[in-house]
Structure 1
Amino acid sequence: MAKGSPAVSEPTYFILACLLDGPLHGHGIIKQTLELSENRVKLPVGTLYGALDRLAASGLITVDREEIVDGRPRRYFRLTDEGKGLVTAEALRMQQASSVVTGRILRPGSAFS
């Protein structure tokens, strides 16, 4: 992510973040995203697969494998190096932005300290 580029959306951030631990299938991504976001990001199936298609087209994720479960295909997705770089850069960007505010709130003489 280049300096000055817009932040990734919260759903995209959490989709990428949940894939840091390894490949997951769609339902696993939905559950993990909900858990990591502390129930803030609820991904309907259609929204998830649209996002996964966009992330794959952008080279941020790729299909790791596909298997048949109960007669239905189940695709597992994994981060690419570019996807890992993007989610890492976004986490660092948010951390820096957060430190600006928390540093001002916690400094001596602040109206909030």
Structure 2
Amino acid sequence: LFQMLALSRQHLVSPLPSVTSFSRFYRGDSPSDSQKDMIEIPLPPWQERPDEPIETKRARLLYESRKRGMLENCILLSLFAKEYLHQMTEKQLNLYDRLINEPSNDWDIYHWAT
């Protein structure tokens, strides 16, 4: 039994074989990367909702102002919406709806607002 324990201890404290060299086979910033594997997903165009009741529109826009794709825009737009949506006319609500829901304009909104 003592010999088995001594043998086990020897294996536990013996150094592991070391790796002398290795190479990386991937480099993310390779200039030869043509990004052929990138997929562009088409986004549907914004559609106006002409028959939506104004209070429903206000509630939807308040929600959509808080739930953005970027945290910065969530903060900017939710504070703006909380302060001003209840005062907006139907025409202003339609313009705001179009502004925040046009596809792919989150960075434009952020740079414009800051």
Q: TM-score normalised to the size of structure 2?
A: 0.24
* Structure number with higher strand proportion: 1
